[in-house]
Chains A and B, each alone.
Chain A
Amino acid sequence: MNREVIARLRQVLEPPDVVEDETELLVYECDGLPLFKNRPDVVVFPRTTEQVAQVVRIANEFRIPFLPRGAGTGLSGGALAVEGGIVIELQPMNRILSIDVENRIAVVQPGVVNLHISQAAAPHGLYYAPDPSSQMSCSIGGNVAENSGGPHCLKYGMTTNHILAIEAVTATGEIIRLGNAAGEPIGMDLLGAIVGSEGTFAIVTEITIRLLPKPQAVKTLLAAFHSVEKCSQTVSDVIAAGIVPAALEMVDAKTIEAVEASVYKAGYPRDAVAALLIEVDGFREGLEETSSAIVEICRRNEAYDIRVAKDDDERAKLWLGRKGAFGAMGRLAPDMITMDAVIPRTRLPEVLVAIDRMSERYGLGVANVFHAGDGNLHPLILFDSRYPDQVDKIFAMSEDIMKLCVDVGGSLSGEHGIGYEKKDFMDLVFSDSELGTMMRVKQFFNPDGLLNPNKIFPSRRGCTEIGKHSTTSTAEIGKRVEAVLLGTPQTRSASAIARSLNEKVQH
């Protein structure tokens, strides 16, 4: 990194907040998706919005790519540094600025850990609803960037439904404020467009969020099935009965095997082919009856073991298995990747069968643990990264899974985002013309493409393998793809992009 840049960064930040020591940088070479690694040149730790803006202005002045990062728990490589550049680590901005109990809102900095908000609000009987599995460590700023989900999104909505206003630093270093504490959209919803833009539109530096009153009562139950079909049918039947569960989660036999062999042992029936974890919450009155109605639906679908948690301890135990499932996979294989895809929930049985067949074909274990209620799949592919052929198979298999989900009317991601991982699958869902519209909006927010480059948009398979052995700089590739997507319909074809890229590569 240019010494002048480092000197300038040290002028606006405390010197220890500018880190360029190679071993320290190792921590920042990937996020929660370690399949891709790229070490940044420098990591900065701003403490104020103004400092973030100054860093962004310096990066602009020297044309250096930069990106925000929270806790680094993202699973799509959204916080992967690209070709060096500056990582703006927002964890030091971790204060809960205010909790307005009467109006049920909180103002927080982006580095605040998701769960800490609910903990701080708990004495007032309030909580923050979106609960990604990583909620004990993920940051709210990252949640806003990714529009994160979680099991309880089924009833309460995604992050975007809970963000009322933001302060943000634009890609060119201006400080803007959007939205209002009443959450009332005024004209076109720019705030709504920024939430979920995966850190490519702006860096969010302050967030006003909606808090909800804690439900009076919660009921959690586990139902075990001998068949995936019956288990899936139960999901459909619960929805068809007009019940709006707070969460409706499915785990398969492989997941149960891993969980029961691990420290997350939750007493799930070991012989089950699939099991559902169902939670309903709300007013105390009527909840018992709703829970009984669900038990009845499970029975009708031949659930052979149904356990209704009697108290909070039993509830916590049932959830332990679900929430610990990812960690427990270490019992089955040294490495795992968490896929994320979404399908219409009515297509669950056939898709699960197809994934099972793929698992056999590729010789890679797959465990399924997912948000069945909204059709949000999480196949966990088990592998051993010491065998390069297994890594290659992972890429091939994840592509097959994506194609399968898109073919049944689904989409690439329900909650993890596209990031770096899935950008080359975007053209399974969107035409070049549609990507062109998205690119236009990206260029509007991020005119020079310096903010979090090479995410979301396809670099076109076969042309590039960034992070492995690229021959063209990623920035160059990004520019070329942009030019083609924004061009006339005649020049927008995939083959035109491939041609354009190949020309460059040969130089």
Chain B
Amino acid sequence: MQSRTYAILMAVVGFALFVVVVATNLIIDPQHVFGTGLLPRSPNANDRYERLHAYKAAPQRYDGLIFGSSRAVSFSPDELARWVNGVSFANFAVAGGTVVDYVAILEFVLRDKASRGERLRTVFVLLDVDDWGQQPFTNKTLEYLMPPEISGQNPLRFWWKNLIAIQFKAWSSTVRAARKADAGMQRGESGTGILQSALSVLAPSSANAQALVTAPPPAKRERREFITHGIDYRHKLNLLERFVALCREHDVQIVAVISPLSAQNADIYDPVDLGIAIADVSRIVPLWDFTNSKAVSNNPEFWFDFSHFRPEVVQMMLRRMFGGEVPPAWASFGRRLP
């Protein structure tokens, strides 16, 4: 065998592997960024990219923004619009969303609005103060990658990263989800995408919003975490200050909310420290704090899991914030700070 043949064959095999990866990413599109559309939306879809894409499709339609993490998925823009003087909200609630994302998106939208001579009226922001000390997921992996318009990164890098990623888990989960959706269609079930299936999970359960059934509190922990000692705590406070300053500078109304915590979740943190964190945040922006109701926290009926609350809770949050009627059991749910 000649060295030339050896070298060329090695290079060819290497490039063939590379081409297979690129083709697989384009066909399966696990982050749902290429828009090939051959398979239904993946569970690993990059919702930051999708939210921006949806906004850019009709930016003139929106004069409000919803910010939040996956906990905010139960907030419907239409429902919110009914409470906030008909503001039309673009939804930027994203998985693992933090103030890092909110500031970047707000800056982008304000620039965009200014360039078209439009105005942003209101932002609704759901703050997960329990995650305040932790480093954000943003830009850590492909599904959390900010779109280049927002991150300021070179667009080539964004597309390159999505093209060349070797991601067996994401590929297989997308194909599995597609097969599942296909089987559902064959059985005559409605709804095609993962988003629909996710939303069906989020539909109201048998929980009765009138009754606050209190479960026994979880067993006491020996060691609790301190949010304010977290490595990202100060940075996030600074970013929130920037967020608020931007809103004030552009005369944008802020509706800020601290999300309720399940008992399991709240039990992770030192209660005094949690109080300090809430106070720190409320010093920057007036807000509604919904961490205070033990009845909601302890009732598993109001929770999808230890982190995400159900739409019944959202309903009561909106009524409490905007002066709607609430059943007597919910009268002390949430408090205005400061």
The finding on whether chains A and B are genuine partners in a shared complex, rather than unrelated, reads no
